[in-house]
Chains A and B, each alone.
Chain A
Amino acid sequence: MQLTRTQTARVHSRRSLTDVQIQVLFIAPTIILLVLWNIFPLFYSLYLSFTEFSVIKPDVPPAWIGLQNYNKLLSDPRIWQYFTLTGRYVVTTVALQAIVGFGLALFLRERFKGSGLITTLILIPIMMSPVVIGLFWKLIYNPAFGIFNYLIGYSVPNSGPDWLGEGSRALWAIIIVDVWMWSPFVMLLCLSGLKAIPDYLYEAAAIDRASPWFQFWRITLPQVAPLLLIAILFRTIEAFKTFDLVMGLTGGGPGDATELIAVHLYRAAFTRFTTGESSALAYIILVIVIAVSNLYVRSLNRIRGENH
């Protein structure tokens, strides 16, 4: 029996789902997974942060101790020291990445022969695993047989600085690797921003004989600013969480010279197993990350508002 087109349609609609059913079916799995794996743990660790508990003593149930964990953490000078260290690290590394990345994007915006290949080559560090990179740079930084000191001009073995052995240098060693790894990311975002600037703005500026300096400050920078800020936001959040790289490179040492806050949290939670206290620390970190992201998002919105 031959069906007409309308009949086929009716058969389909009877057998197939309504739009509402599709919405539920398509969205529900995502929401359920996110709630189970993010929201539930978040509340659970909030509860744990008010208790005395250790995961290696599962027989001892969490004992409610109120704000004691927070009190203890916030009055511990070492915690403040780790936070200041992390702050210094984040500001320095993100600022350098923004400068290097934006500079590279400016240089790469006009296509030349082989520019695609160069862009791809510059992006290679992003694809690598941070912990492995950290480990490998350990070899590169080695004062005796590493190439880093040779490349910066110390040709006699062991005459150059021991990058990972001295407290203040070790932080710079991490910053150098982080900048090497993530500047290309800033570059990529800025590049896509630069390519979206309409040509007529520059044409008009050229006709008015505006200087390149003027063009940069009045056209290029304001137009790229939103994307540059997004890149900086992503990088700030990530830098605050830096863990893999440090674990590979210094493991927090020498002493606790590079014990960034995420590394400290790992040590508290998974080597000392002070679960309740670490949950409280995790919450303090979370609040700071949210506050910083909020600041960024606000300034981003302000810049966007000016552009429109």
Chain B
Amino acid sequence: MAVSTTSAPITYATRVDKVGARYQFTRALRIAVVVLYATISLIPVFWMVTAAFKSRPDVVAIPPKVFFTPTIEGFISLLTKRVLLPPGMMEEYKQRTDLNFAERIMAERGQRITGPSQYGQRLLNSVIVASASTVLSVLLGVLAAYAFSRFNVPGKGDLLFFILSTRMLPPVVVTIPIFLMYQQLRLYDTHLGLILLYTVFNLSFAVWLLKGFIDEIPREYEEAALVDGYSRLQAFRKVVLPQAITGIAATFVFCLIFAWNEYAFALMLTSERARTAPPSIPTVLGTGGIEWSAIAAGTLGFLVPVIIVTFALRDYLLRGVTFGALRK
């Protein structure tokens, strides 16, 4: 056979335009371009991760340093409040034997740790707000999506469009009245206020995405369950929910990423108690100048949870995008 010299295995299903040197060449070229893009686009991420482990002089070194001695200085500055040691006291302070690991590192930089910073609290706020609002919007979303998918709700088309249109509103437009409303209702700077707001902003998306998934589940399953004596609610819980788990996971990831990263509302509707991490990372300023390694450390600590969740649910994520966009 003349074509058997090419590396691709020839089967009956192989198309004539997918064998031969020219195809092999363009394929290699495609892969090269994609790999190159991925590499370039990861440079900033790489730079951020390394900056988190750089010492203060290393992070602003001229020319930029790719190789350096790692240190956890950045993480310590992120998590603590510090004061500068007066030059006279420096030697004496360094000689003290009761210093712990972190205090010793900062003493080398001429700083004394005075207490924990707010970062831990802010990160905890982020965890509370993001998880509660995500769970709430997925829960409400799955209920509404089920009802829209299975019943002939009066005015269904209009209601669904209404739900979608709320997503088109720029957040800044509704922020001013919500700010006023929250001050009246005493929801300003509370966890509950942010949770409800994020829930609402994710809800429209959740309903649309989940409806697509539930539409896919054959009605026959539930009908069989109803015939067998299940009530509607039982059929929903025991038959539909397990089948919709892919969609629920996909929706969960999207809502979580939004709520976790949200900045504008958090900036305008919280101040101290309920402030989440995104508006506070830019304010991690140290003694004199921007502490880049502390900011990088804060960013890293903030990025890791969402990467873990996304990675764990990555297959659902891809399916989620496909369904959400293809199903109309």
Q: Which of B170, B199, B263 contacts A244 (CB 8 A)?
A: B263
Q: How large is the interface on A (under 10, 10 to 19, 20 to 34, 35 or more residues)?
A: 35 or more
A155 CA / B33 CA spacing, docked (Å):
25
Q: How large is the interface on B (under 10, 10 to 19, 20 to 34, 35 or more residues)?
A: 35 or more
Of the 9-residue stretches B79-87, B98-106, B225-233, B241-249, which lies at the interface with chain A? B225-233
Of the 9-residue stretches B59-67, B68-76, B89-97, B111-119, which lies at the interface with chain A? B59-67
The answer to the question of B261 belonging to the interface, with a C-beta cut-off of 8 Å to chain A, is yes
**A203 and B307 contact, CB distance less than 8 A:** no
Against B, the Cβ 8 Å flags (1 = close, 0 = not) of A6-49 are 10110011011101001101110111011001101110110010
**A45 and B234 contact, CB distance less than 8 A:** no
**B257 and A38 contact, CB distance less than 8 A:** no
Question: Nearest B residue to A14 by beta-carbon distance?
Answer: B231
Against A, the Cβ 8 Å flags (1 = close, 0 = not) of B178-196 are 1111010000000000001
Interface of B is mostly: helix
Instruction: Report B-chain residues with C-beta under 8 Å of the C-beta of A118.
Output: 34-35, 38
Q: Which of B151, B177, B197, B302 contacts A19 (CB 8 A)?
A: B151
Instruction: Report A-chain residues with C-beta under 8 Å of the C-beta of B176.
Output: 41, 45, 48, 55, 269, 275, 278-279, 282
Known contacts: A27-B144, A30-B144, A136-B44. The answer to whether A40 contacts B326 by CB under 8 A is no
Instruction: Report B-chain residues with C-beta under 8 Å of the C-beta of A248.
Output: 282
The answer to the question of A146 belonging to the interface, with a C-beta cut-off of 8 Å to chain B, is yes
Of the 9-residue stretches A65-73, A77-85, A87-95, A283-291, which lies at the interface with chain B? A283-291
Residues on B lying within 8 angstroms of A by beta carbon are 15-17, 27, 30-31, 33-35, 37-38, 41-45, 47-48, 51, 59-64, 140-141, 143-144, 146-148, 151, 153, 159, 162-163, 166, 168-181, 183, 196-197, 199-200, 203-204, 207, 228-234, 257, 260-261, 263-264, 267-268, 278-279, 281-282, 292, 295-296, 298-299, 302-303, 306-307, 310-311, 314, 318, 321-322, 325-326
17 A-B contacts (beta carbon < 8 Å):
A12-B230, A12-B234, A19-B151, A22-B147, A22-B232, A23-B151, A29-B144, A30-B140, A30-B203, A44-B181, A45-B173, A118-B35, A136-B296, A145-B59, A150-B64, A196-B322, A248-B282
Residues on A lying within 8 angstroms of B by beta carbon are 5-6, 8-9, 12-13, 15-17, 19, 22-23, 25-27, 29-31, 33-34, 37-38, 40-42, 44-45, 48, 55, 58, 104, 107-108, 110, 112, 115, 118, 120-122, 124-132, 135-137, 139-140, 142, 144-147, 150-151, 155, 157, 180, 184, 188-189, 192-193, 195-196, 202-203, 206-207, 227, 230, 237, 240-241, 243-244, 247-248, 262, 265-266, 269-270, 275, 278-279, 282-283, 285-286, 289-290, 293
